A and B are shown apart, each in its own frame.
Chain A
Amino acid sequence: GEDVEQSLFLSVREGDSSVINCTYTDSSSTYLYWYKQEPGAGLQLLTYIFSNMDMKQDQRLTVLLNKKDKHLSLRIADTQTGDSAIYFCADPYRGTDKLIFGTGTRLQVFP
């Protein structure tokens, strides 16, 4: 089956950049996604990248995709306390409707 892995925890100082990493095994996906989940809440779609792109920038967010290494990253510039949450990467399993979520990275931002 598909495996999507993330590091569990990241702690950064307010104003610094955060980089959250994700590795996946299914190379057939057309799109890859990043979601944010605040405590006790649902998931918020942050951004996505088409598989034929290497990079996508969306305001403070930069997504990098290395298809050869099956590695996806999310960079948050000027990280704020409101960015504290769990971040999930997600990969559609073999191009189906089934999203496989990564293990989630808890981002903690301290002043």
Chain B
Amino acid sequence: DTEVTQTPKHLVMGMTNKKSLKCEQHMGHRAMYWYKQKAKKPPELMFVYSYEKLSINESVPSRFSPECPNSSLLNLHLHALQPEDSALYLCASSQDRAGTNTEAFFGQGTRLTVV
């Protein structure tokens, strides 16, 4: 099983809503990632969790709050988002830390629209 599963696939939310994106992998990977991808742009890293601890936060606004409840799950909690936060949110996982082969497997993404 080389799958990273993201739910929901699509999400429309108002600027006052609170919602969560979910990501799951069962490959035993110890690093998990959130990326944001705007239309016609490459993915940009938001957060990295390594062994369930936050290791990289790319100066992401606090309206995005990541959570790693266990080694298989990664959540992204959303609150008071802006329309410019509309994007494809991609989750990824990899087996080990940087410096080794960080072969990252990506989910299909959640297409988020903020209205």
Please give the residue numbers on chain A whose beta carbons come within 8 Å of chain B beta carbons, in ascending order: 30-31, 33, 35, 40-45, 48, 50, 88, 92, 95-99, 101-104
Asked if B59 is at the interface (CB within 8 A of a chain A CB), the reply is no
Please give the residue numbers on chain B whose beta carbons come within 8 Å of chain A beta carbons, in ascending order: 4, 6, 31, 33, 41-45, 48, 50, 55-56, 58, 90, 92, 94, 97-109, 111
List 18 extra interface pairs beyond A43-B92, A45-B106, A97-B31, CB under 8 A.
A30-B100, A31-B101, A41-B108, A42-B90, A43-B43, A43-B90, A44-B106, A45-B105, A48-B101, A88-B42, A95-B98, A96-B56, A97-B56, A97-B98, A98-B98, A99-B102, A101-B42, A101-B44
Closest 5 CB pairs of A and B: A101-B42, A43-B106, A42-B108, A42-B106, A96-B98
A30: which B residues are within 8 A, CB to CB? 99-101
| Cβ of B66 to closest chain A Cβ, rounded Å | 14
| Cβ of B99 to closest chain A Cβ, rounded Å | 5
Are B111 and A40 in contact, CB atoms less than 8 angstroms apart?
Answer: yes
CA distance A41 to B55 in the complex (A): 27
CA distance A33 to B43 in the complex (A): 14
Given the known interface contacts A31-B101, A31-B102, A92-B102, the answer about A97 and B50 at a Cβ–Cβ threshold of 8 Å is yes
| Cβ of A13 to closest chain B Cβ, rounded Å | 25
CA distance A35 to B35 in the complex (A): 14
A104: which B residues are within 8 A, CB to CB? 41-42
CA distance A40 to B105 in the complex (A): 17
Are A98 and B42 in contact, CB atoms less than 8 angstroms apart?
Answer: no
B6: which A residues are within 8 A, CB to CB? 42
A-B contact pairs, 24 of them (CB 8 A): A30-B101, A33-B103, A33-B104, A41-B109, A42-B6, A42-B90, A42-B106, A43-B92, A44-B106, A45-B103, A45-B104, A45-B105, A45-B106, A48-B101, A50-B101, A95-B99, A97-B33, A97-B48, A97-B98, A99-B102, A99-B104, A101-B43, A101-B44, A104-B41
